[in-house]
Structure 1
Amino acid sequence: MRYLIVLILAFFVFSCNQNSVSDSSVYFGGQIVNPRTNFVLFLKDEQILDTLILDKSNRFLTKYENLDEGLYTFKHGLEFQYIYLEPADSLLVRLNSWDFDESIVYSGVGSAKNEFLLNLFLQNEEEEKEIFSYFKLDENQFQHKIDSLKNVKETIYENFKINEIEISEGFQHLTNVAINYPLYRLKEIYPYYYKKAYRLASFPVLSEQFYDYRKSIDLNNDHLLFFYPYQNYVVNFLYNQSYVEKEKDSTKNDITTNVLNAIVKNVSSEEIKNTLLKRIVVNDFLKSKTTCAIDTTKIEIFLKNCSNQEYIDQVQNLVSDSKYVENNKLLPDFEVVSYNNDSVKNINNIIKNKKTVIYFWSTEYMSSEYLVSRVQFLQKKYPKVHFIGVQMQPAYIDIKTDYKLKKLDSSQQFKLLATSYANNFLTSRYPRLIITNSNGLVMNGFTYLDAKNLEKELNKLQIN
């Protein structure tokens, strides 16, 4: 049945153009079952190249002239997947947004290589479920496990090559990264988790051959920066270097500072260096034990070495936002609009005489699954605390039309007016939490759903 549906879709797409596909033209189209929105985004390196509107049958089709060979991304709703396109490809995709990756079916010219990439992605997802059991193995056992995983992936690749007449050099290079870099990442994090599993005082002593693969690693490949297996490996390599630095010198005990310095030392590509510096400093800021405290040393390293002005502005806005709402003072009043647009309310009237967590959220920075599960968990664990959601999405999402977000209580969901005072402390657009006591005093003016001390603070709030 699914095969028949794909054939019908293929007929629809190709019947839209009776001319044969030229050598340089690329067609990309498909169908979305249970669409979240009425469009699909087509991106390159996180930059939107095109917005593809769904028709009344939830189909889309586009033609690109002289599209460069390489890795692209299509995104629908909050989910995305990679595709590799070459001149003369005519790629069709069909998926159900309720089960995004697992439901994807490709057809047309170029489908085989993209189905192969998807299978590798799903294989990596399955491996992630088992990885923590590997870290109790000794070096030889662990290496044997890595070799076994690699053999499985290479077998998939060999089966793919049997039916492919010609495989481009670019795709071969991407395949090498897709197969090996997730495994290299496991080797980078192995010492840390082995030490943790056995509660050792230091990292295990490893053979000289353990990291031989590093000789072939390029930390400065701009073309792969936004390919998750590549960036994830690079970050974990840098963290491994940082933990080793800490073990060699006890004065270098701040891992984030070590990572920032490791980026400066090991990465020469401006684009990769800027991206990683911002990623590390923002993550540290949002998830620090001291709940979004400002560490001037880390900020200074970032500002000194980042050459991307947009990233600099984002981090400086984040720092400024964190200072705007002061602890142990009354929350500055601001207006919000009820979910149904039926009233404008002042936040201080909503939280009056209530112990409250106000969470400003945006699915640009966290998945809807995580947002819903985390909020529901906290609500259940802290029933005496009032949780209020304020949507700060650039493009407003109607939560009742999203099958995940609709689990949120719409009566406790609000959105901001463009003129709301709250916009003064949301300039970075990063999600944040504000915690107030029943007197309206700010207990924490800037924290985050992932902050390490959040539950400790909520425990204190609930019992006082």
Structure 2
Amino acid sequence: MKIYLYTCALVFILASCVKEQRNDFIILQGKVLNKKSNTLRLSSLCYSYSHDIPLNEDGTFVDTIRTKADNLMLYYGGHLTYMYLESGDDIHLTFDVKDYNNTVTFTGAGAAYNNYLLQKRKRVSEVLSDVKNIYLLNEVDFKETQKKLESELLKLLKNTKYFPATYIEKEKRNIKYYTLNNLNKYQVNHIYQTKNNDFRVSDAFLKELEEIAYNNGEDYIFSYDYSSLVDSYCQQQAREISASLNIDEDVAYLKAVNMLSNQKIKNIICYKKAKNGITYTADVENYYAEYIKGSTNEVNNKEITKNYNALKIVAKGKPSPEFTDYENFDNSTTSLSDLKGKYLYIDVWATWCGPCKREIPFLKKIESRYHDKNIEFVSISIDNPEDRNKWRQMVEKENLGGVQLLADNAFNSKFVQDYLIKGIPRFILLDPQGNIVMANAPRPSDDKLIALLATLSL
């Protein structure tokens, strides 16, 4: 009997230890039936967090996530699943790619939240089933539809049992934010759908947005729609600041964020914007100054400061980083030093990049306009070396002019890394001595490029 009691006590202690050890992470596992690709993409709706979960040959997967709680999006093969995970959850997810919407299933600890989110999405679809395009509705009908959606979602939440009171209260606010965010997006989407650029909502349409306080850190983390409303508010403030102070809008945006009082929100927004945004700004000094003023997160600050210091190397007036012996479309090789003596407008692009290809007609017009001036137009493709045929075919098909080069190691090419390029297209302007005029020059489609070129001695 003593041995039995001792064994039970030991089992209880071990079980308690396992529970305590698991308390700071989440296990997400499951199986994808009829898989088409070998990875799932998991992205946070709040934080700058995204990673791929590999699938085994039989479609099974398991992943460990270290976070207290988070709303996430799970992408696979064009399908999207919204999830809410908390520390200690052990979620099992399965779905069949051939019948995704009818086969998504959650089981295990934490499944209740995620099954609720599935029902929530279905309820929205049911309410909108008779509406062909919600953004074609007039504003009265649109608002009425949003109120109906809000009522139905609150009813669904009320009928969903056993949720903690704290979750229910946050979700009630989240549903309200969902309505307000849809109202906030109506004007721009109605203009896009109707092609009526003169349309403006009535003064009373957005009156409810005046009730929003933009400093609720708990809601910012929990509700994507609240975070979207905060972002929209900061964008509006940024436009006003930019106009009044005559500063770039990306710097003005961080100034607007710094006007918020909630430090948690400021830390998240500043980092999300600056992680890539600092590599795009035309005013890196003031951009960094506003970032560092707003962020108190030491880990994030260390990363952004490292990027800032790297960008100072490619500041205006500094010698440009070099590239050597890049493959030229004419079958020769070209180095940056070969091109000195003229201004250089460098386009970093790739054949797979949609925004890059949209700039091609504008680039051709710029090249034609300045064909007899002291400026050379250089396009550097960062297609993978094994895709050189795709690059050559596009250059030929589009009849691309200027100097057409293929970088030596795609995104990992030293020239690309030296400029801290995180996304394309990217345009760089150099003077005849090879010094940087602008490391983030305006795109060909931007009227600011013509204004910039007008200041040069071409």
TM normalised by structure 1 equals: 0.59
1:199 Cα offset (Å): 9.9
Residues 375 and 424 (structure 1), Cα distance of their counterparts in 2 relative to 1, 3 Å cut? closer
Say which of 233, 237, 244 aligns to 1:237.
233
| 1:28 partnered with 2:29 | yes
Paired with 1:374 and 1:417, the residues of 2 have a C-alpha distance of 16
- Confirm or deny that 1:293 pairs with 2:272: no
1:389 is matched with 381
Q: 1:105 to 1:151 in 2, by over 3 A?
A: same
Counterpart selection for 2:336 from 348, 360, 385: 348
Q: Quick check: 2:316–2:437 contact (8 Å CA) kept in 1?
A: yes
- Any idea what SS the aligned residue of 1:359 has? strand
Counterpart-to-counterpart distance in 1, 2:67 and 2:339? 53
Amino acid across the alignment from 1:445: A
| Structure 2 CA distance for partners of 1:174 and 1:380, relative to 1, 3 Å | farther
Aligned sequence identity (%): 11
Provide, for residues 58-99 of structure 1, a one-character-per-residue CA deviation record: whole Å limited to 9, x for no partner: x12338799966534435699975312475653224448xx9
Matching residue of 2:357? 376
Structure 1 CA distance for aligned equivalents of residues 65 and 336 of structure 2:
55
Kindly indicate whether the alpha-carbon contact (under 8 Å) linking 1:336 and 1:416 is maintained by their aligned counterparts in 2. Answer: no
C-alpha deviation, 1:408, in angstroms: 7.4
CA contact 2:345–2:378 (8 Å) conserved in 1: yes
C-alpha deviation, 1:372, in angstroms: 1.9
Map 1:266-305; keep pairs closer than 5 Å: 266-268=260-262, 270-279=263-272, 292-294=282-284, 296=286, 298-305=287-294
CA displacement at 1:231 relative to structure 2 = 1.8
Trace 1:3-82 onto structure 2 (pairs within 5 A).
Answer: 28-31=29-32, 35=36, 38-40=38-40, 42=42, 46=47, 52-57=53-58, 59-62=59-62, 71-74=71-74, 81-82=81-82
2:143 to 141, 146, 150: 146
Structure 1 CA distance for aligned equivalents of residues 326 and 182 of structure 2: 47
Q: Is the 8 A contact 1:69 1:85 kept in 2?
A: yes
Q: Could you say what secondary structure the match of 1:235 adopts?
A: helix
Offset of 1:235 from its aligned partner?
Answer: 1.2
Cα distance change on mapping 1:357 and 1:232 into 2, 3 Å? same
Q: Distance in 1 between matches of 2:452 and 2:125?
A: 37
Encode CA deviations 1:152-186: one digit per residue, 9 max, x unaligned: 35435646876x55445465456445533243235
For 1:90 and 1:219, how far apart are their aligned partners in 2? 35
Q: 1:188 to 1:422 in 2, by over 3 A?
A: closer
> SS at 2:296's partner residue?
coil
- 2:92 corresponds to which of 83, 90, 93: 90
Larger-Rg structure: 2
CA distance in 1, matches of 2:453, 2:126: 40
Distance verdict in 2 for CA 1:266–1:188, change over 3 Å: farther
Alignment check: 8 A CA contact 1:337 1:415 kept: no
Aligned to 1:107: 105
Instruction: After TM superposition, give the deviation of residue 273 of structure 1 in Å.
Output: 0.8
SS in 1 for 2:439: strand
Cross-structure match for 1:425: 419
Superposed CA deviations along residues 375-433 of structure 1, whole A, max 9, x for unmatched, are: 11222443455532337xxxx99879xxx99x97798465269793653432x756543
SS in 2 for 1:29: strand
Task: Give the match's secondary structure for 2:322.
Answer: coil
Q: Deviations over 1:176-235 (max 9, x none)?
A: 4553324323555789999x96699xx986599644642xx5633257438532321111
Match of 1:324 among 306, 310, 313: 313
Deviation at 1:244, TM superposition (A): 7.2
User: Does the C-alpha gap of structure 1 residues 430 and 245 become closer, same or farther in structure 2, counting only changes over 3 Å?
Assistant: closer
Task: State the distance in 2 between where 1:389 and 1:123 align.
Answer: 46
Unpaired runs of 5+ in structure 2? 1-18, 191-195, 368-376, 396-403
In structure 2, what is the equivalent of residue 7 of structure 1?
A: none
Residue in 1 aligned with 2:14? none
- Look up the SS of the partner of 2:71 in the other structure: strand
Measured at CA, do residues 189 and 176 of structure 1 come closer, stay the same or move farther in structure 2, by a change above 3 Å? same
Shift of residue 120 of structure 1?
7.7
Instruction: Tell whether the 8 Å contact from 1:26 to 1:65 is kept in structure 2 after alignment.
Output: yes
Is contact 1:74–1:82 with CA below 8 Å preserved after alignment? yes
- The whole-number CA distance in structure 2 between the counterparts of 1:301 and 1:65 is 32
Report Cα offsets for 1:350-386 as digits up to 9, x if no partner.
979997633278xxxxxx9xx7221112224434555
- Could you say what secondary structure the match of 2:264 adopts? helix
CA RMSD in angstroms comes to 6.0
Deviations 1:12-41 (A, max 9, x none): xxxxxxxxxx9x9966323276655x3335
